[in-house]
Structure 1
Amino acid sequence: MIKRVLVPIACIVLFTSLFCSQGYGQGFGVVDEAAAGNFFVVGARALGMGGAHIAVASDATALVYNPAGLARVTRIEFSGGLTHQRMNNKTKFALQAQQEMGFDDGRLQNNTRFSSANVVLPVPTYRGSLVLALGVNRVKSFDRTMQFFTEDDDTSRTAIESETGGLYLWSLGGAVDISPNISVGAAINLWTGKDSYTWFYDRIPIASSGPGITIDDAIKDRYSGFNAKFGFRIQPNKYLILGGTIDSPVTYTVEEDWIEITDGVGGSEYADGTYEYKVSLPFGLGAGFALQFENLTLAGDVNYADWTQMEYKRYEYAAEANRLIKETYIDALRFNLGAEYLIPSVGTSLRVGFYHDPLPYKSRWVEKNRNFFTAGVGFLIDQVMILDIAWAHGSWELQEVTPELTEKYTTDRIFVSVAYRL
């Protein structure tokens, strides 16, 4: 998304008359591409283990993590899941002198969503394994929010920023054993999704200190694109599993509708428009390991993407947007760690994990990077049904440079997944 209505966000809010001496009447804005990063873990078992699943996935979630893991499925499987996210934002001035103006407010955002539906079909073979799978999974989340209020002797100002949506991955994949301990797999993916962004700003004069103004803007983007994922899984001995993946680049077609409404001293102004552009995201590389003991599994993953290679196409301001990508974005290495302990006597698995999901921005915009702690439990019911429940708690902080703002986010996520095997 290219936020043309926020040029830039900080100066519109805080507030041209107080802190910003430069004018910003240009037609472009800032680049804030929600599709860059923002991976939303798929599956309650995976979340409980901190998302470390490249070497571990042996169910329908292998479509997302490592298609080669599908070769471990031996029975027809149907699965689905729901997610709930509770996100809280606190925004304040970074400088103590500015904090005394009363600028400190928070906003809460809750979302419950369908997260996955998959079917896995093992194909009878004379030797080895051949497995096909089809499914849809919510793999990226665009949800975030911000609200703040400040008041001085002359004016009160309120601002609310909100963004919701995400991307779903419609996948058709399969895996085969090419030797007793080596599997390879691939998936063809259709990406679809929406991103709804709103910005509201209200300036109210106190004791007729000046004109008031209300700004109410909205951007709605619809994403679509294709790519492929390839993976391998090697088990050199009974204790160790290794996995690796390659995600091909994806080019999204983005259909955007935007509205700008301004009510001020000169009356009401309304503008809207629709246009289409493309944005290309780079290769993604992943590697994982798992150590399996009698009832204990330890796992770890790393995933790499160079977001500076992101590129806008067929867009009026593409050259400027692509220049800003180089100035704003970095390459990022996400890592995941997890453990699972099976209690065979009661058919229950206990899980814990941690993952570091770095924001794809340069350090001057990141006060504290994104970290999550996770826990989960799984139940095997009548040898045919698996119920998995997981929870994750995460936090991160962003900062604006002009003026100096700090946005502190905390989030709690609850995942519930059910699988039935014939």
Structure 2
Amino acid sequence: MRRIGLVVLIAALAAAGAFAQQEYDFNIMGTGARARGMGGAFIGVADDATAVGWNPAGLAQLEKMEASVVGLFNITKYSSESTFGGETDTYEESASHPAPAFASFVIPLKTGNKNLALAVAYQRMVDMGNKAKGSDQDYGYFPTGDYDWTYEAKGGMDAITPAIAVQLSDNFSFGAAGNIYINGVTEKQKNTFTADQSITDNFTEETKFSGFNFNAGALVSLQKFSIGAMMRFPFNLKIDITNSNDYTNLPTYGSGSTSSEMSGAEFSMPMIIGFGAAVKPTDKLTLAADYEIRPYSNSEFSYQGTSDDAGMNDCNQLRVGMEYIFTGPNAVFPIRLGFRTDPKTFDGFKGTWTSPDTSQASGYAITGGFGLNMGRMMLDLAYEYGNLKPIDVSGDLFGYQASMMSEYKSHNIMASAIFHF
């Protein structure tokens, strides 16, 4: 009985891990090493080219022509542990990948004596890259024995974003940006069977995204204080999926391939509203805070004339951060710290087996970074540590003490380079 209970726990953990891997995080957030080093508290700051994604009104603050590029390197570690009647099973897995994050070009102009800025940017709105590998027992429906598998996902939901911002008064700016959604993700899983390397079973899934929406923002800037607001308008994200399965020497099935398509599906993205404020107690210190309202519980999935609730949770997010500037004889050295909540669209599983808490899974991120500003060039580096425990349950199960825990730890390194002309 104890062994059966442990098997049940392991199966539950595996299902939870697989679900979490496939649960793409549609919590769209701006980018840039400076902003992310401050925890993402940038709606009320928005004074570089990444304002395109945070608050386009901030582009009106730029006085020089500017080009920027941002890259991301992610490391994610997953661990799980289950115990049942004194028996323990543990599992660990890690994956890493680089990804493009942002590139932009901004041209500041004048209209009368007021600032006007035009910009175009490429943004990785949702990064879906991932890698994993492992070994498993036979499928159960093919007598092929144990097998090794590798999984890799490349790509994400990207956008081409033209933007405009205008200074309407000495202290008030307004901006707007249009997001043209492109690209997608390609997922591949390769299964090779241990006893006979000639037996393979490989799967490929290609997902393409398309759509369009607007962002709008406003910014009030005073000498020591600024406040901003941002709105991402709702839209339907179109999704087209192609699946293929290639196999060789499978018992009963032999060698061959199959494929299927799903085109015309749509996911309704909700209206997202954010507010931010920043205060400068001194010329060298900036303190900032943001709050975003993300009602994903209103989202629906539609296909072939049928719409269903997407079953997601709202992901309202709080972000706080600071920046302090050290000044040298030939350069400026800013340092940054930040924190943000990280609520997820899916539910967790915590508490006890008899009365589990299946409310929303939520994690957090601690951030930091530094920069080097030398004349026309600005270099920034940010680090984000994220933590999420979607499963943490214990208590009596089948008359034995049992527990189950899963944890994700993410390490993001983001680097930015900005050039002024």
Q: Distance in 1 between matches of 2:136 and 2:63?
A: 60
- Say whether 1:226 aligns with 2:248: no
1:34 aligned residue: 24
> Mapping of 1:174-189 within 5 angstroms?
174-189=164-179
Q: State which drifts further: 358-367 or 50-59.
A: 358-367
Deviation string, structure 1 residues 87-118 (Cα, Å, up to 9, x no partner): 222244x4435964xx4333222212222211
1:173 aligned residue: 163
Deviation string, structure 1 residues 260-287 (Cα, Å, up to 9, x no partner): 4678654358531122122221111111
Q: State which drifts further: 156-165 or 214-223.
A: 156-165
Q: Distance in 1 between matches of 2:177 and 2:380?
A: 24
Equivalent of residue 347 in structure 1, options 309, 317, 332 = 332
Match for 1:196: what amino acid? T
> Mapping of 1:89-108 within 5 angstroms?
89-92=78-81, 94-97=82-85, 100=88, 103-108=89-94
Q: Distance in 2 between matches of 1:369 and 1:358?
A: 4
Q: Distance in 2 between matches of 1:196 and 1:142?
A: 9
Q: Distance in 2 between matches of 1:421 and 1:185?
A: 21
Aligned 8 A contact 1:130 1:175 in 2: yes
Match for 1:43: what amino acid? G
1:302 aligned residue: 291
Secondary structure of the corresponding residue to residue 346 of structure 2? coil
Match for 2:411: what amino acid? D
Equivalent of residue 261 in structure 2, options 274, 294, 311 = 274
Match for 1:282: what amino acid? P
Q: Distance in 2 between matches of 1:54 and 1:414?
A: 21
Change beyond 3 A, Cα 1:375–1:241:
same
Match for 2:313: what amino acid? I
Aligned 8 A contact 1:67 1:184 in 2: yes
Pairwise CA RMSD: 3.5
Aligned 8 A contact 2:69 2:418 in 1: yes
1:414 aligned residue: 413
Q: Distance in 2 between matches of 1:372 and 1:31?
A: 19
Change beyond 3 A, Cα 1:99–1:132:
farther
Aligned 8 A contact 1:105 1:147 in 2: no
Secondary structure of the corresponding residue to residue 129 of structure 1? strand
2:16 aligned residue: none
Deviation, 1:139, is 2.3
- Say whether 1:361 aligns with 2:346: yes
- Say whether 1:76 aligns with 2:65: yes
Deviation, 1:137, is 1.7
Q: State which drifts further: 364-373 or 284-293.
A: 364-373
> Mapping of 1:241-320 within 5 angstroms?
241-260=226-245, 266-268=252-254, 270-276=257-263, 277-293=265-281, 294-315=283-304, 318-319=306-307
Secondary structure of the corresponding residue to residue 45 of structure 1? helix
Q: State which drifts further: 239-248 or 303-312.
A: 303-312
Secondary structure of the corresponding residue to residue 344 of structure 2? coil
Deviation, 1:53, is 0.7
Match for 1:137: what amino acid? Q
Secondary structure of the corresponding residue to residue 124 of structure 1? strand
Secondary structure of the corresponding residue to residue 289 of structure 1? strand
- Say whether 1:197 aligns with 2:181: no
Q: State which drifts further: 383-392 or 368-377.
A: 368-377
Deviation string, structure 1 residues 187-241 (Cα, Å, up to 9, x no partner): 0111123123345678989xxxxxxx98643321011111000000013x42221
For normalisation by structure 1, the TM-score amounts to 0.79
For normalisation by structure 2, the TM-score amounts to 0.79
2:352 aligned residue: none
Match for 2:380: what amino acid? D
Deviation string, structure 1 residues 5-55 (Cα, Å, up to 9, x no partner): xxxxxxxxx78xx969xxxxxxxx999662632x46511101111111101
Secondary structure of the corresponding residue to residue 57 of structure 2? helix
Change beyond 3 A, Cα 1:137–1:30:
closer
Secondary structure of the corresponding residue to residue 371 of structure 2? strand
Deviation string, structure 1 residues 160-204 (Cα, Å, up to 9, x no partner): 655443222211111111221111110011112312334567898
Q: Distance in 1 between matches of 2:87 and 2:22?
A: 27
Aligned 8 A contact 1:140 1:167 in 2: yes
Percent sequence identity is 23
Equivalent of residue 390 in structure 1, options 363, 382, 394 = 382
Aligned 8 A contact 1:54 1:66 in 2: yes
Match for 2:262: what amino acid? Y
Match for 1:50: what amino acid? G
1:130 aligned residue: 116
Q: Distance in 2 between matches of 1:232 and 1:214?
A: 56
Secondary structure of the corresponding residue to residue 331 of structure 1? coil
- Say whether 1:371 aligns with 2:364: yes
Work out the number of aligned pairs and report it: 378
Deviation string, structure 1 residues 48-103 (Cα, Å, up to 9, x no partner): 111111011111101000000011001111111221111222244x4435964xx4
Structure 1 unaligned blocks of 5 or more: 1-13, 21-28, 206-212
